């Protein structure tokens, strides 16, 4: 009997390195699928529709919102970004593990709709490192480093809504930890009731 | 600040392969420590005091029982076996991860005293495999294969008292899963409050 896939939500403040981590992890694992966001933003050079993002018009996006097709959505710098529900649901039903990279507010919205999800907070090794990463980053937005650091501090307050914390010191360590979390979650009793039933036969009845 | 070590309790029915798994895992990891049981049984050829077991007299063993030095103990085929508490407690306090292999009844006793422990149930891939393993095993005890299978069935009823199930199909897979569980547990929010506090500073207060 097939086990339902695991949904990993990788989240954390801007500059914690969640994007780099998730891309490196998905590249290293053939059997983990990335959730692709929908956006009204125009594609940049090299971005592929359906892989980088699902690029939509504003009208299409709002139709998705109104039809309840998005797990969460938000506007950012004049563009809308959202997480399509159906693709994730289908992959999970097929037993595929899905990873979703999202900011803290988005993660909180998803948590209310998908409590089965595994919520991982990516933490920089120190505030000083976070600051240096934000300074070193060529950011498209006008948001200042100070504003981002302040926002990070309010986001830290939500860390105990998460299941795991991943201190992103070296990428190798962070990938190993992320992989460990996925392996472990696949072994959790509550995710294996079918398999347990299959092995143990009629002996077990879960209530 | 140091993280307290993780206590892994690897348990399951006789013949599920928990002993082989735990030995192979500990041999592959320098930083995971095996809990050594105390026993009144005589050492067999090749067994080393303090490594295989702590060999004690019956009087010494009962002193340990009376002084509350054992997390659990039981008599089996006329010999006493028990889990010394102090060594485990010291290793955990030093931030060392400890692994403890024990039968289901013992695990349940430990669960009541160490709820922070991570309880892993090792399941054979099928009842047929379990039967074949028990038949193939040169067992010292007189307990018949049928009696062990019946006992396994009653032990299965306790599986939802555990955190994880490890289907022991191939040893490589089982070792990877066990390693994933340890890595994941080390990332759990509730085990990292000191580290989170250190990174996030005064922003966070856990209640």
User: CB of A86 within 8 Å of any CB in chain B?
Assistant: no
User: CB of B25 within 8 Å of any CB in chain A?
Assistant: no
The count of other CB atoms within 10 Å of the CB of residue A195 is 16
What pLDDT score does A140 carry?
47
Domains of chain B: 7-35+95-203 (3.40.50.300)
Catalogue the long-range contacts made by B102-106 (C-beta closer than 8 Å, 24 or more residues apart).
B102/B9, B102/B10, B102/B11, B102/B72, B103/B11, B103/B14, B104/B11, B104/B12, B104/B13, B104/B155, B104/B158, B105/B74, B106/B11, B106/B72, B106/B74
What pLDDT score does A135 carry?
85
**Residues 6 or more apart in contact with residue A207 via CB below 8 angstroms:** none
- Distance, CA of B6 to CA of B185 (rounded, Å): 7
Mutation site for A-interface testing, chosen from B97, B159, B184, B191 by largest number of A Cβ within 10 Å: B184
All residues of chain B having their beta carbon less than 8 Å from the beta carbon of residue A173 are none
If you measure CA to CA, which chain B residue comes closest to A153? B203
- Tell if the CB–CB gap between B185 and A183 is shorter than 8 Å: no
Catalogue the long-range contacts made by B38-44 (C-beta closer than 8 Å, 24 or more residues apart).
B38/B64, B38/B70, B38/B73, B38/B80, B38/B81, B38/B82, B38/B83, B38/B84, B39/B79, B39/B80, B39/B81, B39/B82, B40/B79, B40/B80, B41/B79, B41/B81
pLDDT-flagged residues of chain B (< 70): 1, 138-143, 202-207
Length of chain A in terms of residues written: 207
Closest-CA distance, B80 to chain A, in angstroms, reads 30
The tokens 């998705």 sit on which residue?
A64
* Closest-CA residue to A112 (of A158, A65, A173): A158
Please answer whether residues B167 and B123 qualify as being in contact, where contact means their C-beta atoms are separated by less than 8 angstroms: yes
What pLDDT score does A1 carry?
56
Closest-CA distance, A83 to chain B, in angstroms, reads 25
Q: What is the pLDDT along chain A (207 residues), one digit of tens a residue?
A: 578 999 999 999 988 999 999 999 999 999 999 999 999 999 999 999 999 899 999 999 999 999 999 999 999 889 999 999 999 999 999 999 999 999 999 999 999 999 999 999 999 999 888 888 888 876 545 568 888 888 899 999 999 999 999 999 999 999 999 999 999 999 999 999 988 988 887 555 444
User: CB of B45 within 8 Å of any CB in chain A?
Assistant: no
- Distance, CA of B138 to CA of B135 (rounded, Å): 8
What pLDDT score does A207 carry?
42
Please answer whether residues B199 and B11 qualify as being in contact, where contact means their C-beta atoms are separated by less than 8 angstroms: no
User: CB of B97 within 8 Å of any CB in chain A?
Assistant: no
What pLDDT score does B168 carry?
92
Q: What distances in angstroms separate CA B173 from CA A186, B170, B178, B204, one per listed residue?
A: 12, 5, 9, 39
Structure tokens at A106: 């988005």
What Rg, from alpha-carbon coordinates, does chain A have?
18
- Distance, CA of B88 to CA of B95 (rounded, Å): 11
- Tell if the CB–CB gap between B165 and A180 is shorter than 8 Å: no
Model ipTM? 0.89
- Distance, CA of A153 to CA of A13 (rounded, Å): 9
Give one word for A78, left, alpha or beta, with left for phi > 0 and alpha for psi -120 to 50.
left
Please answer whether residues B191 and A167 qualify as being in contact, where contact means their C-beta atoms are separated by less than 8 angstroms: no
The tokens 């702590």 sit on which residue?
B54
Q: Tell me B14's DSSP state.
A: T
- Tell if the CB–CB gap between B183 and A184 is shorter than 8 Å: yes
- Tell if the CB–CB gap between A123 and B196 is shorter than 8 Å: yes
What pLDDT score does A143 carry?
66
- Distance, CA of A102 to CA of A99 (rounded, Å): 10
Closest-CA distance, A166 to chain B, in angstroms, reads 6
All residues of chain A having their beta carbon less than 8 Å from the beta carbon of residue B189 are 121, 159-160, 162-165
């Amino acid at each position: 009997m097939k086990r339902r896939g695991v949904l990993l939500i990788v989240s954390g403040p801007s500059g914690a390195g969640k994007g780099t981590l998730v891309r490196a992890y998905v590249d290293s694992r053939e059997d983990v699928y990335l959730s692709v966001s929908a956006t009204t933003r125009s594609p940049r050079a090299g971005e592929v529709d359906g892989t980088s993002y699902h690029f939509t018009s504003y009208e299409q996006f709002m139709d998705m919102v109104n039809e309840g097709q998005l797990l969460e959505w938000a506007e950012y710098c004049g563009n809308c970004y959202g997480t399509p529900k159906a693709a994730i649901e289908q992959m999970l039903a097929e037993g595929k593990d899905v990873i979703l990279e999202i900011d803290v507010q988005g993660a909180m919205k998803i948590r209310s709709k998908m409590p089965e999800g595994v919520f991982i907070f990516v933490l920089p090794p120190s505030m000083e490192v976070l600051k240096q990463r934000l300074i070193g980053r060529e950011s498209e937005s006008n948001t200042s480093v100070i504003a981002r650091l302040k926002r990070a501090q309010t986001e830290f307050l939500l860390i105990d809504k998460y299941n795991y914390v991943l201190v992103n010191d070296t990428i190798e360590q962070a990938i190993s930890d992320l992989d460990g979390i996925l392996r472990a979650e696949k072994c959790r009793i509550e995710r294996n009731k079918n398999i347990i039933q299959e092995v143990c036969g009629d002996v077990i009845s879960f209530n």
